[in-house]
């Protein structure tokens, strides 16, 4: 499956079923929260507490404001900046907090009471009593308010922390799942997908998702709770106005949803651009030698520049869409606010109700805005989520059968029987038959592209044949676990890959528990021990990325040591010396020839001396094994092998080492 193809197909489909698909993706994301149910519950309980405390804050605030407005002590003080409604401001989150700029609440009212208008009608003692009562009630109420604010703050912390935890964890699990699925996917999948794109999906897409999912999890639980609590209050208190808000709030959501749709499209394009950008970066780093050798630095820069530009434009479009969101909702919010005031004026609402109501509406406006944002986030997050699920859903074509067993018996023979295989297009094999006895060595030769590498790939179960079977001691290798099939084979490729670690770690890659002695023995067998000791830090020398600090021949011998350390019943060498200079080649050659007779070997060879030393030669061509026999038998046949031989070694072959 090619990810790119799947992606473009699914994009077309999604234009039609935008909403449904978004929600499906989102439900699927949410299913990842299941293992963390209790944390979600704690977060939700904290949200309820947060919402409840807001309600209590509103109620206390209402009494407090009512008290202030109705109390003669406070309401008619002429020039004393008494404790006013403004002593409580509403913070960004719609939660009431004491206004720091307000004067200390207990001092102001008492100072200039005798100057009030009321003093003309009320006796001094009455005034004193009222004043004392007022101060103590005010203090109690302020204390309650402070307590509620404390509860609200703690609950806010609890809900944000626990819900954020779940959001982050979902994304971590997704990342791990994505990587683990990538490990299971077939080699052909990884070959046909761009590695830059994969990296981008595993890192950038999950990152984008992390931000969105965390916000979604938090807001989807907190905001509706807060909203419902305050709505409940408003409904009980002033149902006409509550009805008004039912009409008004959906209006706030509409632009958010519309912008969200646009964001979703931009986000999908943006993530694709980012993947292209990563690919260009990765390619130019991987191919740095080619880039420099051909003087194409400027071209690479231009390619990168172009991708950056594309990404920039997508991001700017997204920023524009997001930037539009707040002004639009604020305008609608403003209209609503004015509406409330006009209504209050017409309905001749008492000032304290009006203030509290305005606070309540504001307390609801924030959650509504955030609920609207959830839509936006869901739409925005579905783009990266889809890209991640595309990988997670990519079918694992090569897997163990449910009753697969471990290999336990020693190798006797391997047989390819009636194998047909292709990579999806042209047939590589139509009917291939081949038998290898234990302890023998087989040289595999043939024209380039004939299928030599494919043959050993089938044996390693990198791919399965379309028809036919590969038998190990007479049993189909698909009966065994892939792990044990591979564990019994030492595989050395033409392009060795070394990890950026020490030589010892690289040799022990397939067998991390190996002792230093075992590592050294394997290195000795691979003719690597001497050069390793010559290195400053010996086996602890770090080889650099891809083993850059080693020559081709050295890398290859480490790869052979790595394969040998697993003590394989069968050793496969795929053109292990073809990319090496003469001297390196000779060293590797010596290593390979030293192993002959010690174990079963399949050597895809281009060196005549190797071919001659092998017990048998198989010519892979025309969809199968064209010829099979010893070197001498095949030469005597004067068939394809002879032709290949003459073509590659020249008709006047003198038996020296010339590349096939
Ligand atoms: N991963 C792949 N996807 C598609 N086609 C492939 C792949 N690997 C090899 N082929 C094709 O299969 C044929 C056999 O390739 P290969 O086994 O590598 O040949 P050889 O090792 O003999 O040079 C060639 O035509 C090659 O183009
Ligand atoms: Mg090959």
For ligand 1, is residue 449 a contact (CB within 6 Å)?
A: yes
The minimum-distance atom of ligand 1 relative to the CA of 187 is: 1
Q: Are both 591 and 541 inside the same structural domain? A: no
CA 383–ligand 1 middle distance (angstroms): 35
Residue 483 or 87, more confident: 483
The strand pairing partners of 214, in sequence order, are none
Query: Per-residue pLDDT for 9 more than 60?
Result: no
Residues 465 and 562 in one domain: no
Integer Cα distance of 83 and 141 in angstroms: 13
Q: Can you give the pLDDT at residue 659?
A: 34
CA-proximal residue: ligand 1, atom 24 (nearest): 449
Q: What is the pLDDT of residues 299-319, one digit of tens each?
A: 999 999 999 999 999 989 988
Q: Could you give the C-alpha distances from 623 to 450, 455, 464, 603, in angstroms and in order?
A: 8, 11, 16, 19
pLDDT one-digit tens code per residue, 403-414? 999 998 888 999
Distance separating alpha carbons of residues 296 and 291, to the nearest angstrom: 5
When pLDDT is averaged across residues 364-386 and rounded to a whole number, the result is 80
Q: Is residue 410 part of a domain?
A: no
Pick the atom of ligand 1 nearest to 574's CA.
Answer: 21
Residue 381 sits in the same domain as residue 523? no
Question: Which of 567, 593, 614 is the endpoint of a domain?
Answer: 567
Are both 381 and 442 inside the same structural domain?
no
Cα Rg, the chain, nearest whole Å = 38
Q: Please check whether residues 647 and 517 belong to one and the same domain.
A: no
- Whether residue 431 lies inside any domain: the answer is yes
DSSP notation for 556-608: HHHHHHHHHTT--SEEEEESTTTTS-HHHHHHHHHHHHHHBTTBEEEEE---H
Q: Which ligand is nearest to the CA of 457?
A: 1
Q: Are 560 and 526 in contact (CB under 8 A)?
A: yes
Using a 6 Å cutoff on CB, does residue 451 contact ligand 1?
yes
pLDDT above 90 as % of the chain: 21
Query: Is 540 in the same domain as 628?
Result: no
Ligand 1: residue whose CA is nearest its atom 2: 423
What confidence tens digit (pLDDT) does each residue in 208-238 have? Answer: 887 777 778 777 877 887 788 777 777 777 6
450 lines ligand 1 (CB under 6 A): yes
Task: Tell me the residue range of the domain where 606 lies.
Answer: 416-488+569-660
Express each pLDDT in 480-503 by its tens digit.
999 899 989 999 887 788 888 899
Query: Which of 567, 585, 614 is where one domain is finished?
Result: 567
Per-residue HEC secondary structure of 46-104 comes to HHHHHHHHHHHHHHHHHHHHHHHHHCHHHHCCCCCCCCCHHHEEECCCCCEEECCCCCC
Q: Tell me, in angstroms, the distance from the centre of ligand 2 to residue 215's CA.
A: 50
Using CA atoms, how far apart are residues 171 and 213, in angstroms rounded to an integer? 8
Best residue among 423, 624, 640 to mutate for probing ligand 1, ranked by most atoms within 8 Å of CB: 423
Give the integer Cα–Cα distance in Å for 471 and 474.
5
Domain final position from 517, 539, 567:
567
Count other C-beta atoms under 10 Å from residue 312's C-beta: 12
Q: How many domains are contained in the chain? A: 3
In this structure, are 366 and 217 located in the same domain? yes
The ligand 1 atom nearest the CA atom of 450: 22
Q: Which atom of ligand 1 is nearest to the CA of 620?
A: 22
Shortest-distance atom of ligand 1 to CA 457: 17
Does 284 reside within a domain?
no
Q: Domain for residue 464, yes or no?
A: yes
Report how far ligand 2's centroid is from the alpha carbon of 457 (Å).
Answer: 10
Residue 16 pLDDT: 35
Supply the pLDDT for residue 223.
Answer: 81
Which ligand places an atom closest to the C-alpha of 620? 1
- Rounded to an integer, what distance in angstroms lies between the CA atom of residue 190 and that of residue 182? 8
Q: Please answer whether residues 78 and 116 qualify as being in contact, where contact means their C-beta atoms are separated by less than 8 angstroms.
A: yes
Cβ of residue 448 lying under 6 Å from some atom of ligand 1: yes
3-state secondary structure of 13: helix
Hey, whose CA ends up nearest to atom 16 of ligand 1?
A: 451
Are residues 102 and 138 both part of a single domain?
yes
Quote the ligand 2 centre to 51 CA distance (angstroms). Answer: 67
Ligand 1 binding pocket includes 446 (Cβ within 6 Å): yes
Nearest residue by C-alpha to atom 11 in ligand 1: 449
350 part of a folded domain:
yes
448 and 503 assigned to the same domain = no
Q: Are residues 551 and 573 in the same domain?
A: no
- Measured in Å, residue 259 CA sits from the centre of ligand 2 at 52
Q: Is 423 in the pocket of ligand 1 (CB under 6 A)?
A: yes
Quick check: is 540 in a domain? yes
In a domain, 70, yes or no: yes
Provide the CATH number for the domain around residue 638: 3.40.50.300
Inside any domain, residue 56: yes
* pLDDT value at residue 656: 39
Ligand 1: which of 187, 422, 450 to mutate, judged by most atoms within 8 Å of the beta carbon? 450
The CATH code of the domain that includes 383 is 1.20.1560.10
On the question of pLDDT at 138 being above 50, the answer is yes
Same domain, 432 and 573: yes
51 and 83 belong to one structural domain = yes
């Amino acid at each position: 499956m090619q990810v790119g193809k799947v992606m473009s197909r699914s994009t077309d489909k999604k234009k039609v079923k935008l909403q449904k698909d978004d929600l499906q993706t989102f439900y699927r994301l949410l299913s990842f929260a299941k293992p963390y149910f209790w944390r979600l519950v704690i977060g939700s309980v904290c949200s309820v507490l947060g919402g409840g405390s807001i309600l209590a804050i509103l109620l206390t605030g209402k009494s407090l404001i009512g008290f202030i407005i109705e109390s003669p002590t406070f309401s008619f003080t002429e020039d004393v900046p008494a404790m006013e409604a403004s002593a409580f401001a509403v913070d960004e989150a719609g939660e009431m907090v004491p206004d720091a700029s307000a004067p200390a609440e207990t001092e102001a009212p008492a100072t200039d009471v005798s100057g009030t208008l009321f003093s003309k009608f009320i006796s001094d003692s009455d005034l004193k009593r009222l004043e004392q009562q007022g101060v103590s009630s005010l203090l109690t109420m302020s204390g309650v308010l402070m307590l509620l604010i404390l509860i609200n703050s703690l609950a806010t912390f609890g809900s944000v922390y626990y819900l954020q935890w779940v959001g982050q964890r979902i994304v971590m699990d997704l990342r791990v799942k994505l990587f683990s699925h990538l490990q299971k996917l077939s080699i052909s999948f990884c070959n046909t997908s761009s590695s830059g794109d994969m990296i981008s999906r595993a890192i950038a897409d999950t990152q984008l998702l992390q931000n969105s999912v965390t916000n979604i999890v938090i807001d989807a639980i907190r905001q509706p709770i807060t909203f419902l609590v305050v709505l409940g209050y408003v409904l009980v208190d002033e149902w006409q106005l509550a009805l008004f808000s039912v009409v008004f709030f959906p209006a706030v959501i509409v632009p958010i949803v519309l912008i969200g749709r646009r964001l979703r499209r931009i986000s999908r394009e943006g993530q694709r651009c980012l993947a292209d950008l990563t690919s260009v970066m990765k390619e130019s780093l991987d191919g740095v030698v080619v880039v420099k050798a051909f003087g194409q630095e400027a071209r690479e820069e231009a390619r990168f520049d172009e991708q950056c530009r594309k990404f920039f434009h997508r991001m700017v479009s997204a920023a524009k869409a997001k930037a539009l969101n707040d002004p639009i909702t604020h305008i609608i919010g403003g209209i609503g606010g004015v509406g409330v005031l006009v209504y209050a004026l017409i309905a001749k609402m008492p000032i304290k109700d009006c203030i509290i109501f305005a606070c309540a509406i504001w307390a609801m406006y924030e959650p509504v805005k955030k609920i609207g944002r959830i839509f936006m986030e869901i739409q925005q997050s579905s783009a990266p989520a889809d890209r991640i699920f595309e990988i997670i859903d990519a079918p694992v074509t090569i897997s163990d059968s449910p009753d697969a067993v471990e290999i336990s018996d020693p190798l006797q023979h391997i047989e390819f029987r009636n194998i047909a295989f292709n990579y999806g297009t042209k047939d590589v094999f139509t009917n291939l038959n081949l038998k290898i006895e234990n302890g023998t060595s087989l040289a595999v030769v043939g024209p380039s592209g004939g299928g030599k590498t494919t043959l050993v790939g089938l044996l390693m179960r990198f791919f399965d044949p379309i028809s036919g079977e590969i038998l190990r001691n007479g049993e189909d290798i698909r009966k065994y676990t892939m792990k044990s099939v591979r564990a019994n084979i030492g595989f050395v490729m033409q392009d060795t890959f070394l990890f950026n670690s020490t030589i010892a770690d690289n040799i022990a890659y397939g067998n991390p528990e190996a002792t230093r002695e075992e590592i050294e023995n394997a290195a000795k067998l691979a003719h690597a021990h001497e050069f390793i000791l010559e290195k400053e830090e010996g086996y602890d020398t770090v080889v650099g990325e891809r083993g850059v600090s080693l020559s081709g021949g050295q890398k290859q011998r480490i790869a052979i040591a790595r394969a040998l350390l697993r003590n394989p019943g069968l050793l496969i060498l795929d053109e292990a010396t073809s990319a090496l200079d003469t001297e390196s080649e000779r060293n590797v050659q010596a290593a390979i020839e030293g192993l002959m007779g010690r174990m079963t070997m399949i050597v895809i060879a281009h060196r005549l001396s190797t071919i001659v030393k092998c017990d048998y030669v198989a010519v892979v061509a025309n969809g199968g094994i064209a010829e099979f026999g010893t070197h001498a038998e095949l030469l005597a046949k004067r068939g394809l092998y002879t032709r290949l031989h003459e073509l590659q070694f020249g008709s006047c072959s003198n038996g020296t080492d010339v590349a096939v």
